[in-house]
Amino acid sequence: MANICAFRALRPTPSMAPEICELPYDVMSSDEARQMVVGKPLSFLHVSKPEIDLPQDVSPYHHLVYLKGLENFMRLIMDGHLRQDNISCFYLYRQIMKQHSQLGLVAVASVQDYADNRIKKHELTRLEKEDDRVQHIETLNAQTGPVFLVYRSQPQLDAFFGKQILSLPDIDFTASDGVRHTSWTINQPQEIQYIQSVFSQIPCLYIADGHHRSAAAHRIWKLRQNSGNSGFFLSVIFPHHQLQILPYNRLVKDLQSLTPDAFLNALREVGEIIPNSRPWPDARHQVCLYIKQNWYLLKIHPQLIKEKSLVQSLDVSLLQDLVLAPILGIVDPRTSNRLAFVGGIRGIEELEQRVNEGQYAAAFSMYPTGIEEVMNIADAGGILPPKSTWFEPKLRDGMFCHLF
> Which residues are bridge partners to 401 per DSSP?
10
Q: What is the pLDDT along the chain (404 residues), one digit of tens a residue?
A: 899 999 999 999 999 999 999 999 998 999 999 999 999 999 999 999 999 999 999 999 999 999 999 999 999 999 999 999 999 999 999 999 999 999 999 999 999 999 999 999 999 899 999 999 999 999 999 999 999 999 999 999 999 999 999 999 999 999 999 999 999 999 999 999 999 999 999 999 999 999 999 999 999 999 887 666 679 999 999 999 999 999 999 999 999 999 999 999 999 999 999 998 899 999 999 999 999 999 999 999 999 998 899 999 999 999 999 999 999 999 999 899 999 999 988 889 999 999 999 999 999 999 999 999 999 999 999 999 989 999 999 999 999 999 99
Q: Report which of 339, 316, 320, 365 is spatially closest to residue 251, judged by C-alpha positions.
A: 339
Query: Rounded distance, CA 303 to CA 287, Å?
Result: 16
Provide the whole-model pTM: 0.93
Contact criterion met (CB below 8 Å) for 36 and 43: yes
pLDDT in tens, 233-248: 999 999 999 999 999 9
pLDDT at position 230 is: 75
Is residue 136 classed as helix, strand or coil in its secondary structure? helix
Is residue 146 classed as helix, strand or coil in its secondary structure? coil
Query: Rounded distance, CA 390 to CA 325, Å?
Result: 23
> Which residues are bridge partners to 9 per DSSP?
none
Cβ neighbours of residue 266 closer than 8 Å, sequence gap 6 or more? 258, 327
Set out the domains of the chain in order of their start, with CATH numbers: 4-245+392-403 (no CATH), 248-367 (3.30.1760)
Q: Report CA 26 to chain centroid distance, whole Å.
A: 9
Query: Rounded distance, CA 398 to CA 387, Å?
Result: 25
Is residue 274 classed as helix, strand or coil in its secondary structure? strand
